[in-house]
């Protein structure tokens, strides 16, 4: 079993009573002490800043990929309906297959665009 690193440094900050209750509630919900929870949140924030928003992790990329697939399907279906066309089951399956095939690439592209928009602002 690997021992965790010895922690010898301390960080402190002041919060209001309401902020403390919120922090304490979040820590309890994750079954951690307040100190452990604050450390985890701070370290995750550090990791995100170092890697950038587009590399936040598989969870963010997966959610964005699913949103992009859903968006592609929805827009195609609505376009057909607005033009008075009916969509067969086979056409719907093709839309789903196409959206699924490139959802990750489109999701990553959108995350990079969002990251670019964040870094361009003063």
- Asked whether residue 111 falls in the same domain as residue 67, the answer is yes
Where is the domain boundary, 7, 28, 51?
Answer: 51
Report yes or no on 1 lying in a domain: no
Question: CB neighbours (10 Å) of residue 18?
Answer: 8
Domain membership of residue 36 as a residue range: 17-51
Residue 122 has pLDDT above 50, yes or no: no
pLDDT tens digits, 46-83: 765 555 554 556 677 778 788 888 888 899 999 999 99
- pTM of this prediction? 0.45
What string of DSSP letters covers 11-75?
------HHHHHHHHHHHHHTT--HHHHHHHHHHHHHHHHHH-GGGS-HHHHHHHHHHHHHHHHHH
Q: What is the token pair recorded at 119?
A: 């870094």
- Asked whether residue 94 falls in the same domain as residue 76, the answer is yes
- Asked whether residue 23 falls in the same domain as residue 61, the answer is no
CA–CA separation, 41 and 31 (whole Å): 14
Q: Which residue has the tokens 């963010």?
A: 60
CA–CA separation, 103 and 109 (whole Å): 10
- Asked whether residue 45 falls in the same domain as residue 28, the answer is yes
């Amino acid at each position: 079993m690997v021992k965790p690193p010895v922690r010898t440094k301390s960080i402190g900050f002041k919060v209001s009573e309401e902020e403390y209750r919120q922090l304490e509630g979040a820590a309890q919900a994750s079954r951690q002490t307040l100190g452990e929870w604050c450390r985890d949140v701070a370290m995750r924030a550090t990791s995100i800043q170092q890697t950038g928003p587009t590399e936040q992790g598989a969870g963010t990329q997966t959610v964005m990929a699913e949103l992009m697939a859903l968006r592609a399907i929805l827009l195609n279906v609505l376009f057909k309906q607005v033009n008075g066309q009916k969509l067969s089951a086979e056409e719907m399956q093709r839309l789903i297959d196409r959206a699924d095939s490139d959802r990750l690439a489109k999701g990553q592209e959108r995350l990079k665009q969002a990251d670019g928009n964040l870094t361009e602002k003063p």
